[in-house]
Amino acid sequence: MPQSHRPAARDGGPPIGRHQGDSMQHLDAADAAPFTPAAAAPRVLGIRFTGSGSEYFRIWAVNLLLILVTLGLYLPFAKARRIRYFYANTLVDGQALGFHGDPWKMFRGFVLLILLMGAYSAAGRLSSVAAVVAFLILCVVWPALWRASLQFRLGNTSWRGLRMRFEGSLTDAYLACAPSYLPAIALVVGATQMEPEAMKAGAGLTPSFWLYIVGALCMALLAPWSLALFKRYQHNGYRIAGQHSHVKLSGGQLYLLVLKIVLVSLVPLVLAGVLMTASFMMARTLGGSRETGLVVIVIGSLLAYLLYFAVVTPYAATRLQNLVWNGTSSESLSFNSQLKFGAMFWLTLKNWLLTALTLGLYRPFAAVATARLRLEAVSIDCADDPLDWVAAASAGHADATGEIAGDFFGIDMGL
């Protein structure tokens, strides 16, 4: 009988046994398994501002001249030119932002706001009751106008050909404004009723006066919470491609920031007071007249005023920018702001001094320098390739029905 033999390997190799065949099957299965690469590190999208003061000075000068000639009617067109210039010189990962807002639509929104403010002013002159009613109407429409302005600005902003969007709801806009409404209404009612009650009752503190004081105090106490609500509404509504932004920001963080601002504001006031007292005593010691003492007091007061705003304004701007943007992120994006108070302080001081010495002509140079410092302090960590967003966006069609109101009226109040 013929004997059975195991199959021989090719090329005269040894026979393939059962265990060897199983090993090769395992190797084949391992080769066929998909390869999973390690997660890539986030890519940093740097921000660079390329504008120059001399270029913007020409735009600023022409805008100012046309605003004066047209008695202010050119204001929305000037704003569109300014935004377009700053956007075109803001490079994110080497790609400039674009602004596509129609100046004529912005003019239409400008006229609407002028009519609303004019009606409120006329109502205030008509009677105190009419002023309160007009203010209540303004409170009703203001959140809708604010939302429309955000939709207009974001809807007309692009990067890499991708249009941004704002998707905050109208309900959330009213909720963000609600805490500041009650004290504001008390403030307006107290202010409009204060003079008539004083005329009727003669001297003394009237109920309207106390209502005004209570409203002012409540508004001051609620201001940090209201600011937190405003910023949360804004930063939770930003959209680009498939990215939905959200911000981690609490009212407690804003109250702590305000406390720090108050403490910092004491430094220039104390310093100015010490300098003023020393100067006054020196003038008295040297036999200065009463007029000399008054001059010292005036100069000291101006110094305190300048030091206060030169320190407090850049400190508040620096801390608020870092707090808000460091807490903002999306599915693939994370913002980092490292704006330094020292750099902001010296730039602010320089801008104010040169603006005063040049009678305002340095203002466009100051605007460019400030924009460069604040923008280049921000970077973006991106876990995706933005080119994939462009490819995905070109395959679909965005629904712009939610931006009809803002785009129709062209309302832009700034971000």
Residue 336, H or E segment: strand 333-337
CA distance 241 to 235: 16
240 inside domain? yes
Cα 120 to Cα 116, 135, 186: the distances in Å are 6, 7, 17
Is position 183 within any domain? Answer: yes
pTM of the model: 0.80
Please report whether residue 80 resides in a domain. Answer: no
Please check whether residue 170 lies inside any domain of the structure.
Answer: yes
Residue 25 lies in a domain: no
Q: What is the pLDDT of residues 130-175, one digit of tens each?
A: 888 999 999 999 999 999 999 999 999 999 989 999 999 999 999 9
Backbone dihedral angles phi then psi of residue 333, each to the nearest 5 degrees = -115, 145
* Residue whose C-alpha is closest to residue 299's, from 319, 315, 279, 317: 279
Residue 210 lies in a domain: yes
User: Which residue range(s) make up the domain with 136?
Assistant: 100-249
Band of pLDDT at residue 396, cut at 50, 70 and 90: very low
- Read off the pLDDT of residues 196-235 as tens digits, 9 standing for 90 and up: 655 555 555 677 788 888 889 999 999 999 999 999 999 9
The rounded distance, in Å, linking the Cα atoms of 372 and 53 is 11
Would residue 86 count as lying in a domain?
Answer: no
Please check whether residue 126 lies inside any domain of the structure. yes
CA atoms within 13 A on the CB side of 356: 6
Give 177-187 pLDDT, tens digit per residue. Answer: 999 998 898 88
User: What pLDDT is stored for residue 67 in this prediction?
Assistant: 96
72: left (phi over 0), alpha (psi -120 to 50) or beta: left
* Total tally of structural domains belonging to the chain: 1
Query: Distance (Å, rounded) from C-alpha 289 to C-alpha 283?
Result: 8
